[in-house]
Structure 1
Amino acid sequence: MSAKHHFNKGLKLFFAFWEKYHELDNFHYQWAKDHLKVLVVKRGDVLEPPGHRTEISYFVATGMLARAEDNSNTSKRKITSLALPNMALMSTVHLHSHSIRPGEIIALRPGIIIALPHHVLRRFQEYEKSVDTLVDVFCNKEKRQLILLQQLLREYSSFDRYLSFVELMPEIRAVTSQTEQAALLDISRNTIQRASYFLATRKIRRK
């Protein structure tokens, strides 16, 4: 498909999301076309590498993004947050912060991503308050996810942690692989398989 097709599809999905929370007009559409960038990503693409200094948000029109870190002691990759369609990952703590969050932002699935540079959002925010609504929704969605993850990671038993994950985050379980779930929950795939067997049969499988 052409770049124009992906551009139009990405912006269409972005506006369909934004107008759920704020009335939009041609002014908003023109601003987005002039200032936002539509990215077509493949699985494994790195949008922001470790140590980057870019102040930006990535809205997921289609696909899936993750913020991930590599543990130098265990050589394991840890996923610290996920963005499904209609969610976003911010590279900073908040829109007006210059503190970059650790890790890299990577594509877990092929898709269409809208890049929203923070300097553009901040400048637009000075005379258009609909940006506040947009950023608040981004932040609240990610915050809710992080609260649930923190709750799960406090579970001492990795087996119980996965059972709670199934209950609290079914939408993420439905679209992630066991490898991704293990990196998100800091548990082994063996634990996931044992817990999945228990959920299917109500029987405990021996290790």
Structure 2
Amino acid sequence: METLGQLDPYLVGAVLLAVLALDGSLLIGVVLPGDAAIIVAGTALTGPSEVALVAVAGVVGCHLGATGGWLIGRRYGSLVRHSRAGRWIGEHRWARAERLATGEGSGPALAAAYFLPVVNALTPVLAGTLGMSYGRFIRWALAGSTVWVSAYLVLGSVAGEFVRNNEHLMVPVAGCVAVVVAGLIVISRRARANREMEISEPAGSRTPETASRPLQ
């Protein structure tokens, strides 16, 4: 944290700009989620002026990434989705991004998609593939990316400052966070397993005794 705090904010902004530009255009966000990059960048910032400077750079990077992804989708969208890399990403992720791009309220959904890791890297390509106009797409992309970058930079900056001033609390805090995360993972997996069981079980299945019993 001390090393990050000594970095030049202009350098932090330049690196973040490059990462977020690649995030949406070349699908780097599938491997390196932009959320993590923004939060790490935020830990290197120590004041509102530095946060504002890097936020501008981050939003410019998002604009470049969204534009590049839209152009790639416009020309090669279906090829990307059905390529080996597209299959590795997973059809369920493509489908989720497609629902955001085509469902009701697709504009606000595209803005909110920036807060969904991996999905936010796929939506620009899908927006171009599905023929969404660039003007409409980029307006919502800029709105969402501005809130996304600003919120996560502030979060990272606050967290970094807390760590630098309270190093003695890091072990117990990290332990508590690990327990909470582990609990959430277990709950999420159990809920997913229950949903899959409900889906796989025929809705109208009944035992022979139940099926032969007359309705009351």
More strand by share: 1
TM-score (norm: length of structure 2): 0.25
Q: Which has the larger radius of gyration?
A: 2
Could you say which structure has the higher helix fraction?
2
Structure number with the bigger relative contact order (C-alpha 8 A, sep ≥ 6) is 2
TM-score where L is the length of structure 1: 0.25
